[in-house]
Chains A and B, each alone.
Chain A
Amino acid sequence: MFSPVYISDMNCVTPLGLDLQDNWIAILKEDTGIDVHTVGCFENIYTAKIKDLPTVRTDLTYLERMLYLTLEPMVRSKPLGAKTGFILSTTKGNIEFLSEGKSEEAQLHKLAFKMSSLFGFITRPIVVSHACVSGVLAVSVAKRLIQTGQFDEVFVLAGDKVSEFVLSGFNAFQAMSAKPCKPFDSGRDGVTLGEAAGAILVTKSPEHALVEIVGEGAINDANHISGPSRTGEGLYRSISSALNEAGIDASAIDFISAHGTATPYNDEMEAIAFDRLGMNDIPLNSLKGYYGHTLGASGLLELIISILSLRHNKLIPTKGFVSRGTSKDVNIITQKMDVPLTYILKTASGFGGSNAAAILKKVNG
Chain B
Amino acid sequence: MRRFGRFGKITGLVAAASVVVLALGACGSDDGDDGTAPAASGTAAAKSIKVGLAYDIGGRGDKSFNDSAAAGLDKAATGLGVTKTELEAAEGETDAQKEERLRQLADAGNNPIIAVGFAYATALGKVAPEYPDINFAIIDDATLVDVPNVASLTFAEEQGSFLVGAIAAQATKVGNIGFVGGVNTPLIQKFQAGYEAGAKAVKPDIKIQVTYLTQPPDFTGFNDPAKGQTAAAGMYDSGADVVYHAAGGSGGGVFTAAKSAGKLAIGVDADQYLGAAADVQPVILTSMIKHVDVAVYDMVKSAVDGKPLTGAKVYDLKVGGVAFSTSNSAVSPYTAMAEDYQKKIISGEIKVPTTPTS
The finding on whether chains A and B are genuine partners in a shared complex, rather than unrelated, reads: no
